[in-house]
Chains A and B, each alone.
Chain A
Amino acid sequence: MRVFNEIAVVTTICIKSIPQRFWASFSTVVAVGLVVTVLLAFLAMAAGFQQTLRGTGTKDMAILMRAGSQAELNSGVTRDQARLIEEAPGVMKDADGKPLVSPELYVIVDGVKKTAVPADGNLKKAPRSNLTLRGLGPAGIAVRPGLKIVEGRAFKPGTNELMVGRALQKDFAGLNVGDTVKLGNSNWLVVGAFELGGSVFESELWADTPEVQDLFHRQNVFQSIRARLTGPDALKALSDYAANDPQLKLDVTTEADYYAQQASRTSDLIQKLGWPLAIAMAFGALAGALNTMYSSVAARAQEIATLRCIGFSGTSSFIGTLLESLVLALVGGIVGTLVTWVLFDGLTGSTLSGASFSQIVFTFHLTPAVAVQGIILALVVGLVGGVFPAWRAARIPIVEAYGTP
């Protein structure tokens, strides 16, 4: 109890004396806050990106790609293979008995971000970003039951018509319903906009597969096959079927697993950029924290000496000083978190996906788990920045603290 009394009073003295060193304390809070903001911005980006990709695809949809291809862009599937999959076990059929299988084409085209549109509005002069154009088979819409057409209508087979993902439409120029877009060497008419649970598909352009094959010279070739599964055991049945047929050298996985894997690759990359940058900045904040805490100990030298004269232990001075540093860092961490939340949470951004080489539109998401990482970094800065000055506070000889020989 005595020890707690000691520590409580020394901590009170330390914390209450912060206003006497307002500017030094303030600069520490700002430095730590800045570090936390930078880190959390990256992590919120990674979390948002991950959430977008992880929210894509369901467990009851199989995606089949060439063995070892890992991503749709690298994959190639033939028309014959697609036909074999239509007859495979575990594949759901519609009311008319047609298999819910969609051979899909995956083509990289380009578009202009709204933020990149020049002042004169001339899109031809604007820098281009990669976009995904997906060619859908006849069952392409039917295999995706969550699809909502929020504006216009679906494309008609056999025409140069496009549907645009809602997220893409918000972020890129010239993709409104009724707009004509030049993709490759041909013009396409935007006839509808769709939503699909905030998934990565909302960053895509959709059109009729034969048209895309024709205009991009990809006859008889697809990148992937979507197949709707009949139930939880269907994936195994489909995998076994593909494994046992020498014509089907295909990897079979659920769409949910496929996108989860894509998500961790890119969000890992974002985190690998964010953490080193934040840690490098944290060293700067650490220098500030050390400076502030050493000046705090110097300013309170006489108080510390008086308390030790009275009989207070060095331990209470150590813990009190350390807690002061941690409080400053915690305030910085909270400020940084709030700044990130105000500036970034809910902000829409788009970035190049490492797997698809096309832009994916996502929303920065400051999750509690992300915020905790920022606060932990702040506390580490506070701990390291406080421990050496606290040691000095605990060990400085009383006579020296009083400035007498």
Chain B
Amino acid sequence: MTGQTLIHLQDVSKRFVKGKDTITIFDHLGLSIPAGDFVAVMGPSGSGKTTLLNLLGGIDQPTEGSITFDGGRVDTLTEGQLARWRAHNVGFIFQFYNLMPTLSAARNVELPLLLTSFSRAERKRRVEAALSLVGLAERADHYPREMSGGQQQRVAIARALISDPKLLLCDEPTGDLDRTTADEILAMLRLLNQEMGKTIVMVTHDPEAAKYARRTLHLDKGRFTERELVA
């Protein structure tokens, strides 16, 4: 169930200067992602997948063009404004989970809530609910090193969800997992999209993973080459 445009990239260019060379990643790229969409982005290494995710998540800025989110410009925000914007609107899920190794699962999940004004009791309640949602309520006090890859990724999903963001950005979320565990994680993402209406953009190399998305965008040399709708 998709709705109004959540993210819109208009004429976005991204260039890097490396020594004497200027490397162009995107040249006047356009993209619209409606709210409630689940998009898989595929493409060879160096095609710009991760750069696209960074631009969508406000952790990188375009050289030219504009990015709007829910009708508001993101590319003009300052560093501090972007940090607050991310805290409220974006959940990140990484290939290698990026959990804090010195914090328990519950404390890792709680991190985004520390940026809110919720009381300690409210934070605790929400953390328990998020961990229950990903099936890890009983692992709340465990540290990342005490958990499997799949469990760690579920903790990362709970962390991404805890502040109820509209957008989830996933960078190869199953790249480090076996097939069975990967399917569990992908099914969970699909559930979040279908039941909770989360807009998901997922970068992946895995065609099987892409099948869980509503549509797949193929990126090559900074351009979308093909759009494929998945049932």
Residues of chain A whose beta carbon lies under 8 Å from any beta carbon of chain B: 1-2, 5-6, 9, 12-13, 16-17, 20, 302-303, 306-314, 397-399, 404-405
Say whether B115 contacts A6, CB under 8 Å: yes
The answer, yes or no, to whether B101 is at the interface (CB within 8 Å) is yes
How far does the Cβ of A361 sit from chain B's closest Cβ, in whole Å?
A: 53
Say whether B114 contacts A309, CB under 8 Å: no
Say whether B16 contacts A309, CB under 8 Å: no
B107-160 interface (Cβ within 8 A of A): 107, 111-112, 114-117, 159
Say whether A312 contacts B83, CB under 8 Å: yes
Say whether B51 contacts A311, CB under 8 Å: no
Say whether A311 contacts B54, CB under 8 Å: no
Say whether A310 contacts B111, CB under 8 Å: yes
Which single member of A6, A17, A398 contacts B114 (CB below 8 Å)?
A6
CB-based A-B contact count at 8 angstroms: 73
Say whether A306 contacts B87, CB under 8 Å: no
Q: In whole angstroms, what is the CA distance A405 to B111 when docked?
A: 27
Say whether B83 contacts A308, CB under 8 Å: yes
Q: In whole angstroms, what is the CA distance A302 to B171 when docked?
A: 14
Say whether B54 contacts A310, CB under 8 Å: no
Given that A1-B117, A13-B103, A309-B57 are known contacts, is A405 also in contact with B51, CB under 8 Å in the complex?
yes
The answer, yes or no, to whether B102 is at the interface (CB within 8 Å) is yes
Say whether B98 contacts A399, CB under 8 Å: no
- For B114, the chain A residues whose CB sits under 8 A away are 2, 5-6, 9
Q: In whole angstroms, what is the CA distance A6 to B107 when docked?
A: 12
How far does the Cβ of B75 sit from chain A's closest Cβ, in whole Å?
A: 15
- For B112, the chain A residues whose CB sits under 8 A away are 310-311
B12-42 interface (Cβ within 8 A of A): 16, 23, 25
Select from chain A the residue with minimum beta-carbon distance to B84: A311
How far does the Cβ of A224 sit from chain B's closest Cβ, in whole Å?
A: 68
Given that A2-B114, A2-B115, A13-B100 are known contacts, is A313 also in contact with B94, CB under 8 Å in the complex?
no
Residues of chain B whose beta carbon lies under 8 Å from any beta carbon of chain A: 16, 23, 25, 50-51, 54, 57, 59-60, 79-80, 83-84, 86-88, 92, 94, 98, 100-103, 107, 111-112, 114-117, 159
Q: In whole angstroms, what is the CA distance A405 to B26 when docked?
A: 13
Q: In whole angstroms, what is the CA distance A20 to B80 when docked?
A: 30
Say whether B83 contacts A2, CB under 8 Å: no
- For A1, the chain B residues whose CB sits under 8 A away are 117
Which single member of B60, B101, B111 contacts A399 (CB below 8 Å)?
B60
- For B117, the chain A residues whose CB sits under 8 A away are 1-2
Say whether B54 contacts A404, CB under 8 Å: yes
Apart from A309-B59, A312-B111, 5 more pairs, CB < 8 Å: A12-B102, A12-B103, A306-B92, A306-B100, A310-B112
- For B80, the chain A residues whose CB sits under 8 A away are 313
Say whether A314 contacts B79, CB under 8 Å: yes
Which single member of A311, A404, A405 contacts B86 (CB below 8 Å)?
A311
- For A6, the chain B residues whose CB sits under 8 A away are 114-115
How far does the Cβ of A218 sit from chain B's closest Cβ, in whole Å?
A: 76
How far does the Cβ of B26 sit from chain A's closest Cβ, in whole Å?
A: 12
- For B159, the chain A residues whose CB sits under 8 A away are 310
Select from chain A the residue with minimum beta-carbon distance to B159: A310
Say whether A306 contacts B94, CB under 8 Å: yes
- For B107, the chain A residues whose CB sits under 8 A away are 9
Q: In whole angstroms, what is the CA distance A1 to B120 when docked?
A: 11
How far does the Cβ of A147 sit from chain B's closest Cβ, in whole Å?
A: 64
Select from chain B the residue with minimum beta-carbon distance to A17: B102
Q: In whole angstroms, what is the CA distance A326 to B23 when docked?
A: 42
Say whether B59 contacts A398, CB under 8 Å: yes
Which single member of B54, B83, B92 contacts A313 (CB below 8 Å)?
B83
Given that A6-B114, A12-B103 are known contacts, is A311 also in contact with B98, CB under 8 Å in the complex?
no
Say whether A17 contacts B101, CB under 8 Å: yes
Select from chain B the residue with minimum beta-carbon distance to A300: B100
Select from chain A the residue with minimum beta-carbon distance to B113: A5
Select from chain B the residue with minimum beta-carbon distance to A19: B102
How far does the Cβ of B202 sit from chain A's closest Cβ, in whole Å?
A: 16
How far does the Cβ of B169 sit from chain A's closest Cβ, in whole Å?
A: 9
Select from chain A the residue with minimum beta-carbon distance to B14: A405
Given that A302-B98, A306-B94, A405-B16 are known contacts, is A311 also in contact with B115, CB under 8 Å in the complex?
yes
Output the residue of A309, A310, A311, A404 with the most chain B CB within 10 A: A311
- For A310, the chain B residues whose CB sits under 8 A away are 86-87, 92, 111-112, 115, 159
Q: List 26 A-B contacts (CB under 8 A).
A: A1-B117, A2-B115, A5-B115, A6-B115, A9-B114, A12-B102, A13-B102, A13-B103, A16-B102, A16-B103, A302-B98, A303-B98, A307-B111, A310-B111, A310-B112, A310-B115, A311-B86, A311-B115, A313-B83, A314-B83, A397-B60, A398-B59, A398-B60, A399-B60, A404-B50, A405-B51
